[in-house]
Each structure stands twice: as C-alpha cells, then as structure tokens.
Structure 1
C-alpha cells in the first residue's frame, strides 16, 4: 500500500500513525495537493489528501474510511466495541476532526484568498467554531483523560493529539495551551511516544 500526502496534514498523519500501530506496512509519498498538484493528479485525478493506493491499485479517500479498511486488514480495531465507550470515543474524534477542519478553513482563507477579498465575518465565525471545538474537547478530557501510553493509545487519543499539533503547527495563536490545558497535556504526552516521533507533523519528512 502507498499513502499519498504531506504529514503536515492531520488526516494523512492520523492514517500513518494508525497504520504503524496496526502493524501494516506501507510506503509514503509526500506529495502536496498544492505544490505537487500535477504529480498528485497522475495518481488520483480527484487530488485529495490523503489518498491510499491499495495493493490492487484501488484508491481510497477520506482518512476515516481508510482507517476502517486498515482495521479490517489488521483484524483488530483501535476503537471500542462497547457502545457507550465507542460513543465517547467518537465524540472526541468528531471534535478533533472539527478543529482540524476549521483550522484548515482559516489557513486557506488567509493563504489562498487575496487580502482585499477576505471576508472577516466568515473568518470570525470559523474562529469561533474552532475555539468551541477546542473548549468542548478540553472539557471532555478534563472529565475523562485519554490513555496516552504506548500500549493504551486508541483512535480518539491519536486524533486528538494529531489535531492539536496541527493547529499549533499552522495556526499557533489559535491554540493557547493555557486556554485548553487538558488537550495540550494530552498532545504533549502522545507526541513523546516513539510512533508519533517517527511520524512528525512536518512536510519535509517522507516515510519509508
């Protein structure tokens, strides 16, 4: 299998970390949907990161769908089978992914739209949504800390850590640790794990 996309994308990174934890071998091609558009288009005409090229050449898109496939291949899951526990895990994952989405929207608005064309009310709205996601996630972790150990790490812990690191990497002013201390502490703990260190939030890294 081959994972296409940059590791500064939280969606690419959560798949890479999860596949490593599931013991699934894969190649990684660090191709940007912006700088490497033409090269990416040759692999996937939709040009969507992450893209997973399966062993039979089929293409999968969307990190959550890739993780479903990866868990089926591995024969085990990084999520609970117990419905109440799974519900809690999915809430954490949903909040973390919402924070990723809102962070990306702000970056795209700032980076791709000329300054005189930016719509400040829209940016204010998205900023409010981003901080609402972090506040809700911080409350979740305050009430029920996630396992950040190498043996106990699950998908909620992976995604929460990856999401926080992404915002800190590309939009640091939107991720003050003092405002969301439980999320920040969890991210610091998982980023210290060997699997996170081996797959850093850095688009200069290519995994083999």
Structure 2
C-alpha cells in the first residue's frame, strides 16, 4: 500500500498520521503535485493528493474515502474511532469542522500563491477568510481543554490538528491563530505525540511505515 503526496498537505498528513497511529504498514511517497507533476500523473492523472494505491493496485482519492477504506480493511484502524455509537456524531462534528477549515485555508493559500494580485476577487477572498475564521472559532469553543474529543486519540482529533497546523503554517499571517488559544493548546498536545512527530507538516519529508 502506497500513500502518495506531500505532508505539508493537511489531507495527506491526516491519512499518514492515522496510519502511523494505528501501526498499519504503508509506503509513503512524497511526490509533489507541482514539482513532480509528470510522475504524479502516471499514478493518478487527476492530480489529487492524497492518492492511495492499495495492495491490489486500486487507486483511491479523497482523504475521507481513503480512511473509510482503511477502516474497513485494517482492524487496527478502528481504535481511532469512537467506542460508543453515541459518540460518533460528536466525532463527525469535529471532523467536519476540521475539513471545512482545511478547505478554506487551502483556497486562501492557492488564491495567493497562484493567482496574480491584480486578478484577485476581494469579496471572494473575504468570504473565504470569514468561513475559515468561523470554523476556527467553533473548534476553539467546542474542543475539550483536556484529553481528546471522544476518549482516546482518534481520527477526529487528527483532522483537527492537521487543519490547525496547515492554517498556522500557510495563512497564519492573515489569520491570527493566537486568538484560538484552546485550539492551539489542543494541537500542541497532539503534535508532541510520536505519530505526529513522525509525520511533520513539512515539504519532502517521508513518513515511516509505523511506530
């Protein structure tokens, strides 16, 4: 099984950290969508990261669908999901907020990185920032101040931390992350764990197969 993509993508990192936390074997190939476009296109012509190549050669895309496949295929992954059915909506609530934050942060990042300044649509940019801030505010307000979302560290926690790490690392100059002290403290607790340290949000780093 191969995970394709760079760990500075919150979506790729989300899958990598989950695999490492579950001690599920995989090969990480840090292929860039921009610097290695021809190499990436040979694996997935849609140029979507993360891409997962299963043991039978099936190519999967979208971090949520990849995690769904992994949960159905590798029993160890189920330890990252709520033990009680009643806790599932809470976990999904936080995962949804985290994914929305990722989406808006990625949009803002690419607007700045790829679109010429004279062609920016400022109302659209303002809308993105507003949505991003709303997501961060909700996470900051609702996250527990100790422990994790539904007990042991799980997929929802991983999504939240990967989202915040991406925001801080790429758009922290336009979004004041210091305003979200509870979210920052939550993320700091997670970032100190071995699974997160093994898959830092850095360009070109190769994640290990497990811990």
TM-score norm. by structure 2 comes to 0.92
1:107-160 deviation digits (Å, cap 9, x = unpaired): 11111111111111100010000000000111111xx346359x9211111111
> CA shift at 1:176, angstroms?
3.0
Contact 1:168 1:174 (C-alpha < 8 Å) held by counterparts: no
Deviates more, 1:8-17 or 1:172-181: 172-181
- Gaps in structure 2 of 5+ consecutive residues: none
> CA shift at 1:179, angstroms?
1.1
2:201 corresponds to: 201
1:72 corresponds to: 72
Residue 15 of structure 1 pairs with residue 7 of structure 2: no
- Gaps in structure 1 of 5+ consecutive residues: none
- Aligned match of 2:121 in 114, 119, 122? 119
SS at match of 1:88: helix
Residue 183 of structure 1 pairs with residue 199 of structure 2: no
| Aligned CA distance change for structure 1 residues 52 and 99 (closer, same or farther; 3 Å) | same
Distance (whole Å) between structure 2 residues aligned to residue 21 and residue 71 of structure 1: 13
| Runs ≥4 residues deviating over 6 A | none
1:102 corresponds to: 104
The answer to which structure, 1 or 2, has the higher relative contact order (CA under 8 A, 6+ apart) is 2
Distance (whole Å) between structure 2 residues aligned to residue 199 and residue 148 of structure 1: 19
Residue 51 of structure 1 pairs with residue 44 of structure 2: no
Distance (whole Å) between structure 2 residues aligned to residue 122 and residue 65 of structure 1: 28
SS at match of 1:173: coil
2:168 corresponds to: 168
Deviates more, 1:163-172 or 1:173-182: 173-182
1:148-177 deviation digits (Å, cap 9, x = unpaired): 59x921111111111101111111124534
1:130 corresponds to: 132
Contact 1:23 1:74 (C-alpha < 8 Å) held by counterparts: no
Residue 153 of structure 1 pairs with residue 153 of structure 2: yes
Distance (whole Å) between structure 2 residues aligned to residue 65 and residue 146 of structure 1: 29
RMSD (Å), alpha carbons = 1.7
> CA shift at 1:83, angstroms?
3.5
Distance (whole Å) between structure 2 residues aligned to residue 110 and residue 175 of structure 1: 14
> CA shift at 1:178, angstroms?
3.2
| Aligned CA distance change for structure 1 residues 115 and 177 (closer, same or farther; 3 Å) | closer
Distance (whole Å) between structure 2 residues aligned to residue 124 and residue 116 of structure 1: 16
